[in-house]
Amino acid sequence: MERAAPVRRAGLTGLLGRTRAAVLRALGRPRSTSELAACVGTSAPSASEDATALRAAGLVHTVRRGRGVVHSLTPLGRSLLNGNSNGPAGARSGGNSDARFT
């Protein structure tokens, strides 16, 4: 089973692109935009743009915390990250497409 992980990661990168796949992986735990940017080696505006795109796809949920925001995986995002081809029940629930949270 451990040999499947590199294939799954290559597939995720092929699907989302290198940076957005890295963002999805970095969101294995909730992170602020600045934490996300530091984790994947991009600027905060780029990390925000990537989180917005992933949120629009239903993979990331964003909530406001004071003056900032915290991004986390939706059940669909976690399922994709873990390579679950069946997806979770109610896969698109939890997504937040509100542009105010970028």
Higher pLDDT, 102 or 72: 72
pTM to 2 decimal places:
0.73
The per-residue pLDDT of the chain, averaged, comes to 81
Nearest alpha carbon to residue 30 among 67, 65, 79: 65
For residue range 83-97, what is the model confidence (pLDDT) as tens digits? 865 656 544 444 444
What confidence score (pLDDT) does residue 87 get?
59
Span 52-62, pLDDT tens digits: 999 999 999 99
CA distances, 52 to each of 1, 41, 67 (Å): 32, 17, 17
Residue 2 has a CB neighbour count (10 Å cut-off) of: 5
pLDDT value at residue 16: 87
- Taken in order of first residue, the domains within the chain and their CATH numbers are 4-80 (1.10.10.10)
Distance of CA 47 to the CA centre of its chain: 10
34 pLDDT above the threshold of 80? yes
